[in-house]
Structures are given as structure tokens and as C-alpha cells.
Amino acid sequence: MTKVLMYSSRLCPYCRMAERLLEKKGAQTEKVMVDENPARRDEMIRRAGRTSVPQIFIGETHVGGYSELAELERAGQLDALLKS
């Protein structure tokens, strides 16, 4: 299964929803807590071009936030992306 990197924060409900969906899919997710490390927040903004969390990367593919992740699941495309 492809590596998943999720920029997250402690108080973000969308981060928890994304984490639950990825766990349901059996994905191993590396979480980067941007509220604990401002340098990693800057890294997230550079990579994703966004300031909100979560920002999810599956392999080198920037998925976006929870809404985009959930849309991939509804469209039946998340499994294939996780396995690529």
C-alpha cells in the first residue's frame, strides 16, 4: 500500500474524519502535527499551496483535504490510489 502523509492538527475534526477513513481502508498514515511545529506548517503550505488542515498526500499525489478524500472514496477511486 502507498505511503500516506497527512498534515494535521490536534483540534481539527476533519483531520479525525480523514484519519478514520484511511484507517478503514487499511492505510498506514504518517501524521505531521503542524500546530506543534511551525516549520512543518510552512512545509505544508509550500507543498500543498493551502493553509488549512488536513492536507493529504498519497505517495506523491496531493489529494487535498477531507472533502477531496471523501469524494475519491465516493467515486470509487481511493482504493486504486492507495494501491498504486
Give the domains, in start order, of the chain with CATH numbers. Answer: 4-83 (3.40.30.10)
Torsion over CA: 18, 21, 27, 28 (sign): positive
Burial degree of 31 (CB within 10 A; 0-12, 13-18, 19+):
middle
- Specify the pLDDT at position 84: 84
- The reported pTM is 0.94
Q: Is pLDDT above 80 for 1?
A: no
48-58 average pLDDT score: 97
Nearest to 78 by CA among 66, 32, 41: 66
pLDDT of 9-44, one tens digit each? 999 999 999 999 999 999 999 999 999 999 999 999
Check: CB of residue 21 under 8 Å from CB of residue 69. yes
